[in-house]
Amino acid sequence: MNRALRLLPLLLLSACVAPTDSIGEGSSPIYMGTPESGYPEVVFLYNIRGGACTATIVAPRLVLTAKHCVQGRGNFASPASEFRVYVGSSATAATKQYRVQEVRPVPGAWDLSDGSDVAVLILSSAADETPREMTFENPGVLTGTTFTAVGYGERENGASGAKYMTTGRVQGLRRNFIFVEPTICSGDSGGPMIGAEGKIWGVVSFGYNPEGGRQVMCGDPGAYNAIAPFQAFIEQALEDSGACVESEEICDGVDNDCDGELDEGCTPIGSNCSTDDECVGQRCEVVEPGGSTVCTEECDPLRPELGCPSGFFCSSGGLGVCEGLCAPGSIGTALVDEPCSSNADCLIGNCVDPGDGDQRCLAFCRGDSGDCLAGEVCVASATSCGACVPDDIFAGPYGIGEPCRRDDQCFSGYCFTDAGVSYCSRECTDDTACGEGFHCRGMSCVRGPRESVGGGCITNEDCASGFCASSDGRSWCSEFCIADDECPMGFACTAVDATTNVCAPSVGLVGDRCSDNVDCASGLCAMGTRAGSVCTEQCGPGNACSPGFDCVRIDGGAVAICLPPSEGGGCAAGGQGGTGFAFVLGAFALIVTRRRRRR
């Protein structure tokens, strides 16, 4: 039976953190990968606007990756200033960082349709790592051979950002794509296909489901975009990356005067300044309340540990400010809701008084974006940014995904009840109207993604396959099958009747009881939670739990996992009215229920 080929660009779009010991031990990468401290030329490519990929240093000032990894919000490349290139075994333990001077995507379509999913980035300065050699031979000779894959992509436990290596076999070639057996996953995009002779043949482009009928998953086959068709393009970039057109040195992260030094005479990041022009990074700002102006650069406050040079962290701008700036120091150790005096005190890089008189560490959030987790709401207007606070001290208005009891408590004017839990929603006709971490069911935006096989569901619309199966009080997204190898790991092709088989769990689903990681399809068993010892998976802003589960902070708030709602409807009891935060038209006015101070 011929079915449509479904493609998934393997770009990491959400922020993930590595599991901690309290979640469980023994997690491993998908499909036999092993942690990799070698291949220093294979680097972590990060965009401060969100999104991360894998890339490879192929010349002192040239990095090779996939075109969709550099795509902006449209059919064009993001500016070079948004990219950071990290060297190291993981995104959070980088030993070196490089800035980007120029981004060059291969000309062609942005939807992967024409096999032009290749891009290069010219670095602002030469890398110290030994470049990986490329080959422009005809990739048709690769069929049946073994290759090496290296990348920072997703692993069995849902975490990503650590470098792993594995080997795979080439299945064949079609157009410019080199098709391979299951080897790669989300976040590996742009990573190199290294042949037996140690040279790069292509870059990770997409995963695909050859049978159709469900969302593409880790464990499905994938494809690399061959680089041979773009030899002239890449060789021109190689030449240009080694050439320097001399001009007057300015503070822009580029060696303008071709003397081998960057921004000499400019004020370095973290030092006092008077104007933007004098600063490395071109920003002279106050990065800590009450502090003096210092040279800095923009970063993403949702990821305070990334996007800044060594010795700096991403400090949020406080209530009402959506921008983060690099501040001297490192993220602190104070946990969520603990007292603090500055952003540097906090594990999450955000120290704020939300309006009740208690300055403390609170997670950063964007208004009406669903960034806060279970039991929290965002103290911010729909067009502003703020902090996540307990829902019982904030009377609204509430943003999408936040607890409510009445329609008038929500920005949207729509309080939606789903499986006994009530939260603010929006009317919709498709998933785009709901935003990241939500999907459209009927005409309502529902918390959680449209799940692949094994994800939680309440109706068929919650599943990419259009099929929500139920048995013994459990519901999960499934699909029809003929043999076990059509189902993901942890699932078996199980007979429903004489003519019908479906993918059913052979180990625990999220929310099921467990005693060890191996008991769970997700590879994570959380011990001692409010629900006991249960199978779970990591979650966070932009990485929501399946419908019917809450994303709950653990380990001081830097990590969160999916758990069944607490008794009594979980977050549904939030928002009691009375004195609370209020937004006044034309001004950002805050009134709060005063917290009892800690003793």
Taking alpha carbons only, the member of 122, 349, 344 closest to residue 241 is: 122
pLDDT exceeds cutoff 80 at 25: no
- Confidence band, pLDDT 50/70/90 cuts, at residue 245: low
Q: Domain holding 26: CATH number?
A: 2.40.10.120
pLDDT at 212: 62
3-state secondary structure at position 80:
helix
Share of the chain above pLDDT 70, in %: 85
Examine residue 301 and state whether it is found in any structural domain, yes or no. Answer: no
pLDDT at 580: 28
Quote the mean pLDDT of the chain.
82
Mean pLDDT, to the nearest integer, of 55-80? 93
Cα dihedral 435, 438, 441, 442 sign: negative
pLDDT at 45: 95
pLDDT exceeds cutoff 70 at 568: no
- Confidence band, pLDDT 50/70/90 cuts, at residue 244: low
Q: Residue 387 corresponds to which tokens in the numbers above?
A: 């902090």
Higher pLDDT, 272 or 578: 272
* pLDDT, tens only, 112-141: 888 999 999 999 889 999 999 999 999 999
* pLDDT, tens only, 146-174: 999 999 887 655 567 789 899 999 999 98
pLDDT exceeds cutoff 90 at 263: no
Share of the chain above pLDDT 90, in %: 40
β-pairing, 559-563 vs 538-539, is antiparallel
pLDDT at 18: 31
pLDDT at 15: 29
pLDDT exceeds cutoff 50 at 442: yes
- Confidence band, pLDDT 50/70/90 cuts, at residue 58: very high
Quote the CA–CA distance of 54 and 86 in Å, as a whole number. Answer: 10
pLDDT exceeds cutoff 70 at 205: yes
* pLDDT, tens only, 268-294: 988 999 999 999 878 998 887 677 899
pLDDT exceeds cutoff 80 at 314: yes
- Confidence band, pLDDT 50/70/90 cuts, at residue 214: low
Cα angle: 76, vertex 109, 124; to 5 degrees: 40
Examine residue 183 and state whether it is found in any structural domain, yes or no. Answer: yes
Examine residue 368 and state whether it is found in any structural domain, yes or no. Answer: no
Examine residue 177 and state whether it is found in any structural domain, yes or no. Answer: yes
* pLDDT, tens only, 540-558: 876 788 888 889 988 777 7
pLDDT at 459: 92
Examine residue 133 and state whether it is found in any structural domain, yes or no. Answer: yes
In contact, 59 and 241? CB cutoff 8 Å: yes
Lowest mean pLDDT, pick from 13-27, 221-235, 403-417: 13-27
pLDDT exceeds cutoff 90 at 440: yes
Domain count, the chain: 1
Q: Is 24 left (phi over 0), alpha (psi -120 to 50) or beta?
A: left
pLDDT exceeds cutoff 50 at 252: yes
Quote the CA–CA distance of 372 and 379 in Å, as a whole number. Answer: 10
Quote the CA–CA distance of 255 and 252 in Å, as a whole number. Answer: 9
- Confidence band, pLDDT 50/70/90 cuts, at residue 349: confident
Higher pLDDT, 144 or 555: 144
Examine residue 316 and state whether it is found in any structural domain, yes or no. Answer: no
When computed from its CA atoms, the radius of gyration of the chain, rounded to whole angstroms, is: 25
**Other CB atoms within 10 Å distance of the CB of residue 331:** 20
pLDDT at 547: 85
In contact, 220 and 207? CB cutoff 8 Å: yes
Label residues 491-527 b or e (16+ Cβ within 10 Å = b).
bebbeeeeeebbbbbebbbbbbebeebebbbbbbbbe
Lowest mean pLDDT, pick from 179-193, 237-251, 340-354, 411-425: 237-251
Higher pLDDT, 220 or 18: 220
Examine residue 389 and state whether it is found in any structural domain, yes or no. Answer: no
Mean pLDDT, to the nearest integer, of 436-452? 89
Examine residue 430 and state whether it is found in any structural domain, yes or no. Answer: no
Q: Residue 182 corresponds to which tokens in the numbers above?
A: 């299951």
pLDDT exceeds cutoff 90 at 577: no
pLDDT at 302: 81
- Confidence band, pLDDT 50/70/90 cuts, at residue 578: very low
Q: What is the model's pTM? A: 0.62
Domain that holds residue 102: 6-239
